[in-house]
Chain A
């Protein structure tokens, strides 16, 4: 089955084209089932790949490639045929990612059947979703960084299309542009890293690049720059500090799209990229450290920002950013397995949370939590599944988030106590804001009676995906942690990473710094439970006045957080500044450069042209006329009358002179 893995991205691509071009736009268009079938087939293939890999029927990493294009090249006198190959590279991480992306995408598409029902562009929505999934899957399987980059950009394009899907409104197109441009800022780093890579390694193939790094062909400073460039790309796509500003705005898209973008596919792309080229970071400690600090900053900043908003999707968005920061930080401190593990579990429960939020929004037609409350009786399935998701996110055992977050914190503790402290704090914040959201939405009284009274449980097409995801959120952490199954499977494709991890573990353990996992687990759970209780006391009851009082007392802090630590203002200031700079440049251009240099130069040229014209008319033209006069009237007439007299014998004489010269000069 693994040799057909290249079909996984191509099937949704074909499906998206079919959906886009076949059939008419209609509420009851059967075309979405094409996309669901394609992604279902992809999920089946990727599950088979994981199964084969786990039981040893298939050898991981699996690589297969085809010649893309080739040309004759001449480099420093060495002629050779450069052959660009593109294909698939499946290691453990890629296999897991494939399955996660396929699964989430499948569930989101099924869910969307209900959620998007009645939308004017029902068919096109599914074409976009399929296209998005195809690009993401292409990014996952590609063994060629150029193809990865292309898919990376396609992910960006399709996310732009999806976020701005409701383009009739004002905010979605703006959010789409913001997402596109902000991620593009990071892609610049990615692109520069690609250029550097090819300059020094001469290949884009990941396996060969890894060999080149292992052989030490790339100087350490270059590796650091490549690592930082890729980190910039990853920061843009995975919404890391300071490029996370697009993600909260991306909530303007349809909620299933938010689930798709946030849970696994899109935001995971950056992390996946870092994991994919992890050998570069292993070879460059500076870049590795940068990854860790970026992740840490993101986790902390986003975690604090999630405390204050009243838009249910924004809370989830900030929480996503924060969790991505956790993963990034894990990768940065050498926790390859921990990062990917959290990525996987997070994909499940964050998709679950988003789809639940979508279900709620579908029922009450608003995003504002202040208009909700008391929905638990009206939407029991949604409430239960969302509670499961929240518990998983908060890291309460035995839900998935507990295992993965635990693993990350262990890793971070080995690396740096400061980071550990910040992350533990952030983890506690996570528990608080998650349950603030849950309580505000489902408990207490219905604050907006019109909306809440008419809220109904969503149809089975929406709740079944929720239940499946909830089940996964419950069991996936335990299942993967059990017997270190996930670690051994993912480590399959990255023996070097595993070895590095083991070595790091060994030294730290020997130094006596290792944390007792039991202490951590118990302490963290206790803290989380405490904060959940605090959240309940503040937001769980019908009376929110205590929360309002706290808000009044710490108003400046709230303001800072609501302004997202000024990042948006900062970027807007940057945009504004560049705008002003452009105006200034234009003024400089038109008023100074045009006036003085261009016009002045023109004037000088004109003066010179006049002088030159005078000279021309006085001397050159006269000389030319003189030549003509001499040749026509003086020399011409005289010469003609001398030579061409019409005397044939004279002509013959000239001929004879020539002949005589030949005769006499002949040796």
Chain B
């Protein structure tokens, strides 16, 4: 029961904030609500018993990505943005497409309403660690390579402009 209440609360937070993210005009608010939505998803992970995912969601998304977004908004922010419309002309077409997709997804998800969980979730951190350094060692190393490459790329893209400014 408590699980259900937690799920609904967290799901509501995540969905509501997400809606605000895509509809608000003030980009700073959007970024803040993005953080809240990501935190809601972290809560959902919690209700699933994925404790390590919960932690990393908070660390990476809420603590990292959302903050990075706010930084970017601050860097590029203009006062005129606050009054400008933040939705383009094709929003009606987008809404239609999304509605159609939603119907399809709803039909697919409805079929899974009978699948219930068995037993209580076990702690997942230790098995995750074993998996990452065991069977998935090669993808694990690869993803670290990807991260390094992304880091280097980001520095490369921004550095030239910095050099040009000097």
B23 in contact (CB, < 8 A): no
> Do residues B105 and A663 form an inter-chain contact, with CB atoms below 8 A?
yes
Q: Which DSSP category, helix, strand, loop or mixed, fits chain A's interface? A: helix
B83 in contact (CB, < 8 A): no
A448 in contact (CB, < 8 A): no
Minimum distance in angstroms from A646 CB to a CB of chain B: 14
B99: nearest chain-A partner, CB-CB: A660
Once the chains are docked, how many angstroms separate the CA of A662 from the CA of B108?
12
Chain B residues closer than 8 Å to A656, beta-carbon distance:
94, 97-98, 101
Chain B residues closer than 8 Å to A650, beta-carbon distance:
90
B104: nearest chain-A partner, CB-CB: A663
Chain A residues closer than 8 Å to B93, beta-carbon distance:
653
Q: Give the residue among A656, A663, A666 with the most B Cβ atoms within 10 A.
A: A663
B100 in contact (CB, < 8 A): yes
B114 in contact (CB, < 8 A): no
Chain A residues closer than 8 Å to B108, beta-carbon distance:
663, 666
Minimum distance in angstroms from B105 CB to a CB of chain A: 6
> Do residues A649 and B104 form an inter-chain contact, with CB atoms below 8 A?
no
Chain A residues closer than 8 Å to B98, beta-carbon distance:
656, 660
> Do residues B100 and A663 form an inter-chain contact, with CB atoms below 8 A?
yes
Interface string of A273-306 (1 = CB under 8 A from B): 0000000000000000000000000000000000
Once the chains are docked, how many angstroms separate the CA of A663 from the CA of B97?
11
A81 in contact (CB, < 8 A): no
CB under 8 Å from chain B, chain A span 588-638: none
Once the chains are docked, how many angstroms separate the CA of A665 from the CA of B93?
19
A-B CB contacts (within 8 Å), total count: 34
Contact partner, B104, options A653, A657, A666, Cβ 8 Å: A666
A79 in contact (CB, < 8 A): no
A22 in contact (CB, < 8 A): no
Interface string of A641-653 (1 = CB under 8 A from B): 0000000011001
Minimum distance in angstroms from B103 CB to a CB of chain A: 6
> Do residues A664 and B94 form an inter-chain contact, with CB atoms below 8 A?
no
Chain B residues closer than 8 Å to A665, beta-carbon distance:
104
A657: nearest chain-B partner, CB-CB: B97
CB under 8 Å from chain A, chain B span 74-90: 88, 90
Minimum distance in angstroms from A14 CB to a CB of chain B: 77
> Do residues B101 and A663 form an inter-chain contact, with CB atoms below 8 A?
yes
Once the chains are docked, how many angstroms separate the CA of A638 from the CA of B14?
44
Contact status of A653 and B90, CB under 8 A, knowing A660-B97, A666-B108: yes
A659 in contact (CB, < 8 A): yes
> Do residues A649 and B100 form an inter-chain contact, with CB atoms below 8 A?
no
Chain A residues closer than 8 Å to B105, beta-carbon distance:
663
Chain A residues closer than 8 Å to B104, beta-carbon distance:
660, 662-666
B93: nearest chain-A partner, CB-CB: A653
Interface string of A68-81 (1 = CB under 8 A from B): 00000000000000
Chain A residues closer than 8 Å to B94, beta-carbon distance:
653, 656
15 contacts across the A-B interface (CB closer than 8 A): A649-B88, A650-B90, A653-B94, A656-B94, A656-B97, A656-B98, A660-B97, A660-B98, A660-B104, A663-B100, A663-B104, A664-B100, A664-B101, A665-B104, A666-B104
B: residues with CB less than 8 A from A are 88, 90, 93-94, 97-98, 100-101, 103-105, 107-108
